[in-house]
Amino acid sequence: MEIKDKNLEELETICSDIRNRIIDVVSRKGGHFSSTLGAVELTVAMHKVFDVKKDPFIYDVSHQCYPHKLINGRWDEFETIRQFGGLSGFTKPKESDADYFVAGHSSTSISLAVGAAKAIKLKGEDRIPVVMIGDGSMTAGMVYEALNELGDRKYPVVIILNDNEMSIAKPIGSISKYLSKILAGKFYQGFRDRVDRNIVQKLPSGATYIAKKIEESMKLITPGIIFEEMGVDYIGPIDGHDLEEVIETLEIAKGINKPVIVHARTVKGKGYKHAEGQQEHWHGVGPFNVEDGTFAKKASAKSATAVFADALLDLARKHENVVGVTAAMPSGTGIDKLMKEFPTRFWDVAIAEQHAVTSMAAMAKEGFKPFITIYSTFLQRGFDQIVHDVCLLGLPVVFAIDRAGIVGNDGETHQGAFDISYLRFLPNMILCAPRDDKTLEYSLEFAYEANKPCAIRYPRGAFANLPFEASKFELGKAELLKEGESNKLFIGYGAGVNRACETEKLHNDDIAILDLRFVKPLDEDTLKSLACRYNDWYIFSDSQKQGGVVSAILEFLNKEKICVDVTSFEYEDKFIEHGDTKKVEESLGLNPNQLVQKIK
C-alpha cells in the first residue's frame, strides 16, 4: 500500500479501512486486538514520514503491528493471521523485508535501534531507526540501559512512546499541557536549536548558565524530564489519534537529527467501542460478535492455570509466609486472585522478570516462601538471577512455570520448550511436573515444604482426566501407573503422561506407563528396576530434546552401564511455528496416531 503521496483526507480513509479490516478478521479468527487498534494512526504516520524500504521500523513486542502488516503487502493474507501456516501475530523478517526484526518479548526495541544506528553511522548511510514502544514496556530495565547509551552517543533515533494505559509522569495541570504543545511545535524546536547554536555557545559562562537554567526550568514541569536528563530529547504528550498532529510531530522529530522520544497518548481498542479503554480481556481475543462484542461461550475443563491459582490460594490461607510475584501477567498466571485477597503478600512487578526473581530470593532468605508465577518463555529473561541469586545459595524459591510446552498461536517467541533444558543443569534445583489437576495440587504442597529451589511446569489449557489415583509427591520419586505384558515402557513427564496414555491405548501391545514426576532428581531405583523388565523405553515430554528428559535418562543409564533402547518423543532442535496446538503437534509428528506408527 503506497501512502507517501496521499493527502490527509486520504490517509484518514486508509486509517478507517485498516481499522475495519482488523475488526473484521480478528472477530472471526482471533488475535491481538485492542493494542493494535490503538496504534493505527501512529503506524500510518510512521509510513508517511519515514521510508520503510530503508529506515528500520522496530516494534516493541509487536502486539501492535497489524496495521504495519496491512500497509506492507499482506492485506489479503491477513485472513491467516496467527493460523497454522499463515501470518505471524508478530513482526517476522521471513514474512517481509518491512519487518526489521522478530519481536515477541518486550523492551528490546531501543537496544535494537541503538545497534542499528551504530551500523548506519559506520556505513555512512542516510537512514534513521524508528521505534514504536508501549508504556508497559518502559517498566523493563533493558529500556533504560539502551537509553543511557543513546543519550550519551546522540545517534539519530526516533522513539514513539505509545502511551495507552498510564502516563510516564502525570502532567501538572493546564500549564504543563500548554507547554507540552509548545515543545512539540516547530517554533520551540527551532528556537531551542538556534539559541543553543547562536547564543548559548557564544555567551560568557555566567550568561550561558542562566540560559540553560531557563530551558531546564521549562522541562521541570513537563512529563519528559526523565528522558531529557538522560540526554534524549522529548516531545509531547500529543494526541496519538490526531493524524495531522502526529505527522507534523514526526517530521519535527525526524529533522532534529538526535535521539528523540515522541510521547503519544492513545486509547486501546480505538474505533471499536466495546474494546476501548482499560479492558484487559480485549488485548488478545478469540472470535467474537462484532455487533455486541460478545464472545462465544465454550464448555471447557478447568485450566491448569486456574487449578494452580486455587491451590496456591489454599496454601496462602494456611501459611502466612507464602508470598508471590508475577511479571505483568496477573490474570494470565492466575495470581490476580491472590493479589485481590492478599494485596500485601502478592505483587505484580510489571515487565521486570530479573527483578522479580532477585527480590523473591531476598524474601526466601528472610523466611518467606516465594512463588514466582511466570510463563516458561518469560522465565528465560531471568536466567542469570536464577543462577546467581537463587541457586547459588540454594534458596527455597518456587518457580511456577505456566504455558510449558506448545502454546499455539503466538509461535516461536512464546513456545515453552526450553525450561527443562536451561534449569536442569543448575545445582540445587529440583524439577518436577504434575500430570493432572490433583497432582498439580500435590506438587505445590511438596514445593512449599522443599528447602531448595523448585520448578514446577504445567501446560496451557486443561489437563486430561486420567484414570489413575494420585499420590502425594515425594522428592525424586516416580509413580508406576501401569504394568505391561510387552517389553515396552512409556515414560511420561508432566503433560507427556497423557500423550503416553493415549498412544498406549492405540497400540496393540500391553505397555507399562511410568509417570516420571521428577526429572531432577531422577528416581534411579525405580528406573533400575524397570530396566530389568522392559527393554524398549519411549520418552514423552512437551519439551526440547537437547538437555531435556531423554538427556537426563541417558546420562543415568550411561552412569549405571544399563543397556536399554531409548526413543524420545520430545521436540527436535528447531524453533516451533505458530498455529493451533493440534496442528502444530501433527506437523511435528507428535500426535498419538503418528507415534503409534513410529513405535511399530
Q: Catalogue the active-site residues.
A: 268, 353, 381
Instruction: For residues 384 and 341, give the distance between their C-alpha atoms in angstroms, rounded to a whole number.
Output: 32
Q: Side chain identity at 144, as an amino acid letter? A: Y
Instruction: For residues 488 and 537, give the distance between their C-alpha atoms in angstroms, rounded to a whole number.
Output: 6
What are the b/e assignments for 22-45, b being 16+ CB within 10 Å? bbebbbebbbbbbbbbbbbbbbbb
- Helix H or strand E encompassing 437: helix 437-449
Instruction: For residues 309 and 287, give the distance between their C-alpha atoms in angstroms, rounded to a whole number.
Output: 26
- In 189-239, where do the E strands start and end? 233-239
Torsion of CA 332, 338, 344, 345, to 10 degrees: -90
Instruction: For residues 84 and 314, give the distance between their C-alpha atoms in angstroms, rounded to a whole number.
Output: 39
Cell triple for residue 481? Answer: 501407573
DSSP at 391: I
Q: Side chain identity at 238, as an amino acid letter? A: I
Cell triple for residue 97? Answer: 523485508
Question: CB of 41 within 8 A of CB of 27?
Answer: no
Identify the sign of the CA torsion 161, 328, 81, 128: positive
Question: CB of 308 within 8 A of CB of 400?
Answer: yes
Identify the CA nearest to 92 among candidates 74, 119, 116. Answer: 74
The phi and psi torsions of 5 (rounded to 5 degrees) equal -95, 10
